[in-house]
Homo-oligomer: A and B are copies of this chain.
């Protein structure tokens, strides 16, 4: 519990990340909203389309600027790209930003001084949130790519969300599935990320449940049942 800063990331980088986390998250929500409006609004809704496009294109430079500052502060130079490959990937594909929600989550908790929740509960919350946001992004992207394709089974945004649910949980009914090359690429990405995240949710739920039952054993209230139980 000493105040000694961790040796690896420089103090200024850590501070920068802590301060920018929430604003950046707001920007990425704007990005997602813009993309959603762009994809979902009918083509005739001219003003909204343009505003959405503006949102999408104006949030990206913000991400780029943040990335540049962090490369600078880290003092790693070109090695930053390799060491922080997830950040690099997220810069190129902003729809993957939900994966960074873990830092936002702890930033929020810290700012409002909430007492830390149970370890497993936090892992579940983070992985569940990230999976949900990724699923939503993937549903948007797949709807965008598929709904005009010939022979597509994903024709409405509802179908796309339904497909994302069935894919994330690996149920995979197959009543809605992408048919185009890019739709399938997005789907493969969702399977890979989502499977790992869902596995984390399931795994920590299982550990948490076992913990709950183990704890209950200890605090079993003494009474008639306990007494008779002792007879065995």
Contact = CB atoms under 8 A, between A and B. Distances in A.
A98 to B, nearest CB: 15
Nearest to A192: B169
A191 interface: yes
Interface in A196-219: 196, 198-207, 209-210, 213-214, 216-219
Which of the listed residues A14, A111, A229 has the most CB atoms from chain B within 10 Å of its own CB?
Answer: A229
Given A116-B229, A232-B115, A184 B162 contact: yes
Interface residues of A, number: 73
A113 B204 contact: no
Contact of A172 (B18, B166, B207): B166
A224 interface: yes
A157 to B, nearest CB: 12
Contact of A210 (B18, B169, B204): B204
A139 to B, nearest CB: 12
Which of the listed residues A109, A188, A209, A221 has the most CB atoms from chain B within 10 Å of its own CB?
Answer: A209
Which of the listed residues A120, A207, A225 has the most CB atoms from chain B within 10 Å of its own CB?
Answer: A225
Interface string A105-148: 01001111111100110110011000000000000000000000
A6 B219 contact: yes
Given A172-B166, A175-B174, A225 B109 contact: yes
A43 interface: no
A206 B199 contact: yes
A3 interface: yes
Which of the listed residues A113, A220, A223 has the most CB atoms from chain B within 10 Å of its own CB?
Answer: A113
Interface of A: 1, 3, 5-6, 14, 18, 106, 109-116, 119-120, 122-123, 126-127, 158, 162, 165-167, 169-175, 177, 179, 181, 184, 187-188, 191-192, 195-196, 198-207, 209-210, 213-214, 216-229, 231-232
